[in-house]
Chains A and B, each alone.
Chain A
């Protein structure tokens, strides 16, 4: 028996299969880096009374630098958001809007997702088998749509706060009060969710512990797919796409970069959660 691979996506039998495109992997890396930039510079403002707030801001180069980093990362966020929207249009032209918005590999929640949630709880309580997920589980869809909604909401409210004079030409001033609440609380929700629930669902649960690099390397073993996305795997086998999707083993460079970004993100994310807990309890 071969030793258990550190990367969950390398475990299990069979060849590696492509799961994510280079664009998707790149965009996710941009999401990570810009999100950390936004969180690290926004969190001390949200919890300005926290014992660590002033030290963190000083470490980032002061209030001015923090504000600059925050806005720079916001621009990156708008950038990846619109690149992604563009890629959706391209995808829709290739496959048709219908397949993008509905069906087994759509990101839009399906009736099956509701059934999966119920089935999941049945499994939790020992009253049924574990649900079989398709290309995207309801958790991944929630992650995706939460970021989609989050970027839109936080992004728009952030623009309001960035350019209040411009927006006040057609919005009342109390809109900035609302935007402050929405921006901060939605951001708090985003980081709280990502650094606990997303981390658990994707990396830290016993099946995948300690890390799943599929989003970085773009590929996972056939066995991984069979376990995590059995319906998707079944369809791949049935349609004879196994060979089309066959991926070469990951190069050492990509592997090391993925490991570094992955573990660094996990560590930083957990640290940020600790800071939030500290601030809330303070």
Chain B
């Protein structure tokens, strides 16, 4: 046994002799890290993370860096301290560091220790660029990366247990069902939005934070980063103008931003029935009266039954360029109705567009003919049913009385 230990010490000494290499006459002898950390056998039985051969770095974005660029304090050579001192990534990645420090991950990483720092997402030695397929931060891998924590029941349980964080509990699973998730996983589109496109990579902040990219006020800008063709139209629409204004309208509703109609983690293609039929409800959450009257019309009723052919809100009011009926550029301005209705009803003419798609027969002042028709029809219905209802009840009563009397031997009149 003693012989074996001696032999090991000799081997180590020989190894160190090999490792120490005089650079030039004045220089401090430099110990090449890979001489030890590149030998798998050297750390056999020890912590395997200490085994870092040069190849592990040579193909990464950090291939030009030396170990000591990150691992400072080992300049004095061997034997060195066993304390792993890693310099902050921020040293080089300054802006990323500032952003991360401002993020919700920073305080949780510092105080609770279970939120991600640089290495949780980017790795340690094998750090590849975000455009490298091997990187966890590559667009096709991001959702799985974030899902490591955000789909972990224990993380969800500790961070997102309260009712106001309901959306966060299912965010990752839901993402994969959205149009963005499908584009990524099914169609393999790397340009499709993934977690960091909306939530940012480093400055991740909850939606109630004013600086958050997913705060209501910043949503159009966030979505507009990709949906450039929509953002301009939206900004110019009645909704966009109301958003600029920033104050709630007469019924206490704030102007809708992208996620109010499209939702955040339930985004589906706009030509899917689930969207097509659901958007009416969505508009109705603010436009309550128009929603009710729409559902009284053929358009509304048949849509509610599942038809995708009849007009819904966006067919007449456009999906993003909705404007007041008084605005001459509005799709529902009287001067443009023939064109708007004509999109479905090809032969629509000036007569045709006098149809009232939100008529309320209860409003006698606005719709007198409709109101009186409705009153007449309702009265007719009630009148007929009441008259014959009484007729029927009296008939049954008469026969019952006669039947009872006959049983007692009384002859009916």
The interface of chain A, by Cβ under 8 A from chain B, is: 44-46, 48-49, 53-54, 57-58, 62-64, 66-67, 120-121, 123-126, 128-129, 161, 164-166, 168-174, 176-178, 180-182, 185-186, 188-189, 192-193, 196-197, 200-201, 205-207
Contacts and interface: CB of A to CB of B under 8 A. Distances in A.
A174 B349 contact: no
B388 A48 contact: no
Nearest to A121: B394
Given A161-B298, A173-B354, A181 B381 contact: no
B403 to A, nearest CB: 8
A173 B355 contact: yes
B210 interface: no
Contact of A205 (B297, B355, B388, B399): B399
A188 B381 contact: yes
A57 B305 contact: yes
B306 A63 contact: yes
A48 B351 contact: no
19 contacts: A45-B305, A48-B300, A49-B304, A54-B306, A64-B307, A67-B302, A120-B391, A161-B298, A166-B347, A168-B348, A174-B367, A177-B355, A180-B297, A181-B373, A181-B377, A189-B380, A189-B385, A200-B392, A201-B392
Nearest to A120: B391
Given A124-B394, A188-B381, A177 B307 contact: no
A177 B367 contact: yes
Given A44-B305, A189-B384, A169 B349 contact: yes
B374 interface: yes
Given A174-B370, A185-B377, 19 more contacts: A48-B304, A54-B306, A63-B305, A67-B302, A121-B394, A125-B398, A129-B413, A169-B349, A170-B351, A177-B355, A177-B356, A181-B370, A188-B381, A189-B381, A193-B385, A196-B385, A196-B389, A197-B391, A205-B399
A32 B244 CA distance: 60
Contacts of B309: 63-64
B399 A206 contact: yes
A54 B353 CA distance: 30
Contact of B307 (A63, A172, A180): A63
A165 B370 contact: no
Contacts of A64: 307, 309
Contact of B377 (A49, A62, A182): A182
A126 B398 contact: yes
Contacts of B278: none
B352 A62 contact: no
Nearest to B382: A189
Interface in B275-299: 295, 297-298
Nearest to B378: A185
Contact of B359 (A45, A174, A182, A188): A174
Nearest to B372: A178
Contacts of B391: 120, 124, 197
Query: Which 5 interchain pairs have the tightest Cβ spacing?
Result: A173-B354, A173-B355, A168-B352, A185-B377, A124-B394
Contacts of A169: 349, 351
A65 to B, nearest CB: 11
What is the size category of the interface that chain B forms with chain A? 35 or more
Contacts of B11: none
Contacts of A53: 304-305
A192 B386 CA distance: 11
A201 B394 CA distance: 12
B361 interface: yes
Contacts of A181: 361, 370, 373-374, 377
B370 A173 contact: no
Contact of B347 (A129, A165, A182): A165
Nearest to A193: B384
A168 B349 contact: yes
A216 to B, nearest CB: 23
Contacts of B346: 165
Nearest to A142: B388
Contacts of B398: 123-126
Contacts of A192: 381, 385
Contact of B298 (A180, A193, A201): A180
Contacts of A177: 355-356, 359, 361, 367, 370
A176 B373 CA distance: 12
A184 to B, nearest CB: 9
A142 B369 CA distance: 28
B373 A182 contact: yes
Contacts of A66: 305
Interface in B356-413: 356, 359, 361, 367, 369-370, 373-374, 377-378, 380-381, 384-385, 388-389, 391-392, 394-399, 401, 403, 413
A56 to B, nearest CB: 9
B336 interface: no
Contacts of B359: 174, 177
A209 B377 CA distance: 32
A181 B347 CA distance: 23
